Amino acid sequence: MNNTPVKLTTDHLANFVGPEELAMLQPMVTVADQLLRSGTGAGHDYTDWVHLASQFDSAELVQIQQAAAKIKNQSKVLVVVGIGGSYLGARAVIDFLSDYFNSAYPDGDRDFPQILFAGNSISPSYLNSLIKLIGDRDFSVNVISKSGTTTEPAIAFRVLKELLENRYGHQAARDRIYVTTDANQGALKTLADQQGYEKFVIPAGVGGRFSVLTAVGLLPIAAAGFDIDQLLAGAKEAENAYRSADLSQNPAYQYAAYRNILYRKGYTTELLVNYEPTLVQIGEWWKQLQGESEGKDGKGIFTATGNFSTDLHSFGQYIQEGRRNLFETVLRVKNPVSDLAVPTGQAEDGLGYLEGENLSYVNRMASEGTLLAHVAGGVPNLLVEIDKQDEFTLGHLLYFFEIAVGVSGYLNGVNPFNQPGVEAYKQNMFALLNKPGYEDLHQQFQDQGLI
């Protein structure tokens, strides 16, 4: 696996996990792999992502690219409406591939529409600020929801649809709305059929947190100007790279196995650590992928992120000397997008020893020094290093994490592809809002004096 753009290093686990422990997990990994690939494991109806990149429909890809070109020609802004897996993947990819301050660039400096995200909260201030940011610029909307009735995106879509129709008229507004939804059913599909909105399909066999390489993620990513062919090519390469169930041949499965060993030793929190601000949203996508896949039945690793070196000045003290229940996975970029040398001739700031050094080198040494300190302090560390920040590498990395969590969930004895706990807050919210069908629970809350 040395020729792949994603490399796993486990050297810093030597004091925490013995080689015999990994070997003892091999039979369970083999079974987990069989369950996943044969479609016989729990949640198997939602495992079509395993071969998604290599089997992607070419006609659908052309439709996505044509719609992206149309959005570019008609709009300065594309608002992506969705929550959870309906937006996290696209946002992570766009941030990963963009200049950090891309969203602040004037329209004249843009070759592609500004991508904004709505429907991921119920905050009126956020939505009002987004509308203000759109201003009088031409805009389009891509609404993403399997059902069309999820509260957060449904509210945002109502607001934005009204704004579109008031600005362009009902007929022209229809040409600026792109719907990504279920192929056969749901309120959003019904509306799209009635109004004639252009539709894209959320595959029935792909859950939201695995959907970034479907139209869910690919349409906004393409509209932002990035190469979705290369993104899929990277994921396709990863399909081949991580095909073996042999732990010695499969770094993604090694990652899954080491996580499970550490979890069973009491390391119940995992930090995904980055040293590049454009990787922050990758961490947000990863948190949902890992946490929603494994956090059930009273089990699972709690997933969090560390944005270093920034967070080393906030909760770095806790990592170094707090409870020894956490481990880190460091996500590091080998070749930076750009570099900058430390200026010379300013000795009063005490940086004479760094004069002329590239910031990438300083950042790398901060990474190495932190890793050594945390390991010495009792924090196990895994290192995932990617060659560079481009579409091909990212496609490979996304699949690395996806295939790893599929196996990891089975190793932990849970269904990695459902999320029953997500519905609990919705039921209470609906009852508090007196939604039809929740009258009994609404009455209970009234009796308890909650409303």
Q: What is the per-residue pLDDT across 338-375, written as a single tens digit (0 to 9) for each? A: 999 999 987 788 888 999 999 999 999 999 999 999 99
pLDDT digits (tens, 9 = 90+) for 254-275: 999 999 999 999 999 999 999 9
Q: Is the pLDDT of residue 422 over 80?
A: no
CA-based torsion, 331, 335, 339, 345: positive or negative:
positive
Q: What is the pTM of this model?
A: 0.94
Q: Is the pLDDT reported for residue 1 higher than 60?
A: no
Mean pLDDT (the chain) is 94
CB environment 379-411: b (16+ within 10 A), e (fewer): bbbbbbebeebbbbbbbbbbbbbbbbbbbbbbb
Stronger pLDDT, 435 or 311, i.e. the higher one:
311
β-bridge pairing 326-333 and 381-386: parallel
Q: Which residues of 220-231 are buried (b: 16+ CB within 10 A; e: fewer)?
A: bbbbbbbebbeb
Give the domains, in start order, of the chain with CATH numbers: 6-43+232-412 (3.40.50.10490), 50-231 (3.40.50.10490)
| Amino acid at the residue 228 | I
Helix (H, G, I), strand (E, B) or coil at 325: coil
Angle at 314 between CA 338 and CA 291, to 5 degrees: 80
Please list the active-site residues. 292, 426
Give SS3 for 418. coil
pLDDT digit string, tens, across residues 96-152:
999 999 888 888 888 899 999 999 999 999 999 999 999 999 999 999 999 888 999
Angle ∠(372,320,271) on CA atoms, nearest 5: 85
DSSP 349: G
Share of residues in the chain with pLDDT > 70 (%):
98
Q: For the chain, how long is the longest CA-to-CA vector?
A: 74
Phi, psi of 205, deg, nearest 5: -95, 15
Averaged over 391-411, what is the pLDDT? 98
- Cα 261 from chain centroid (whole Å): 24
Question: pLDDT at position 442, please?
Answer: 75
The pLDDT score that the predictor gives to residue 423 is: 66
pLDDT tens for each residue of 111-121: 899 999 999 99
DSSP 92-115: HHHHHHS-TTGGGS-GGG-SSPEE
Which residues share a beta bridge with 329?
272, 382
Pair of tokens at residue 436: 């039809």
φ, ψ of residue 53 to 5 degrees: the values are -65, -40
DSSP conformation letters of 37-96: HHT-STTGGGBGGGGTTTT--HHHHHHHHHHHHHHHHH-SEEEEE--GGGTHHHHHHHHH
Going by pLDDT thresholds of 50, 70 and 90, the confidence category of residue 215 is very high
Residue 398, C-beta contacts closer than 8 angstroms, at least 6 positions apart: 89, 93, 212, 213, 234, 235, 238
CA angle 382, 301, 117 (to 5 degrees): 90
